[in-house]
A = this chain, B = another copy of it.
């Protein structure tokens, strides 16, 4: 059991919690809580940390992870509280390998290859080769539904967007490189596990990536306060993408200009706009509604 906060592993966990740069360097992030831990694909877990109290109360849980080949480590309650990102730690925290997705994964045309860099290293041709081997003829063709995020900043919004997007059947998320770090502990928490299942891709050049979506046959809609068309007057029963902008400033002009069409969600009262995660959810669930044949 680790009982000192000056332990090297503990210091590393704290850095992983606090610093986006360290997460990127180590290709690791943290996911906390017993419910969240259940959502993590076993093979993604680098190490599972449990508090002394949790180990005493739920030792059989930890034993099950160990049996499945997951490395575990016990921390004193005091040390656990220090590495935890919550006020009332629940005693379970995993260091998780980051998944690596290709741009094609967010289109969902082939089953997403959610693989960490560790797994990738064992593959000769990690993207194409894997698709061919694993999906083959069984790979289901899914109608692409991509959410594109331009400079989204709020961690809660980012997590909620992942949660809604998975539930609405989106194929993936494309985001500008200046969006909030998806591996921020608050984002991870708000995804409620969707971060482990929904493919996402961070584009160096967002307008360029959106043009690639268009070249691939997707119709691109920009959620825009000045859109002349209402969102529910469009037909989303084909491959499509929705562009969602920053909380305060909306879409950057160069991103909005990539869209085929600007749509707006009609609003009553004096509200100027909707919360970004809410606007994204309304669009995604309208697409889901239409695709169910209503």
Which of A167, A168, A281, A292: most chain B CB closer than 10 A?
Answer: A167
Contact call A271/B193, Cβ cutoff below 8 A: yes
A160 within 8 A of B: yes
Task: Name the residue of chain B whose CB is nearest to the CB of A164.
Answer: B278
A270 to B190, CA, bound (A): 15
Contact call A269/B156, Cβ cutoff below 8 A: no
Q: Select one of B192, B288, B289 contacting A268, CB under 8 A.
A: B288
Number of copies: 2
A169 to B271, CA, bound (A): 10
Task: Name the residue of chain B whose CB is nearest to the CB of A168.
Answer: B268
Per the CB 8 Å criterion, the residue count for chain A at the interface is 38
Contact call B233/A271, Cβ cutoff below 8 A: no
Contact call A197/B289, Cβ cutoff below 8 A: no
Contact call A281/B274, Cβ cutoff below 8 A: yes
Q: Which residues of B contact A273 (CB under 8 A)?
A: 192
Contact call A163/B271, Cβ cutoff below 8 A: yes
A285 within 8 A of B: yes
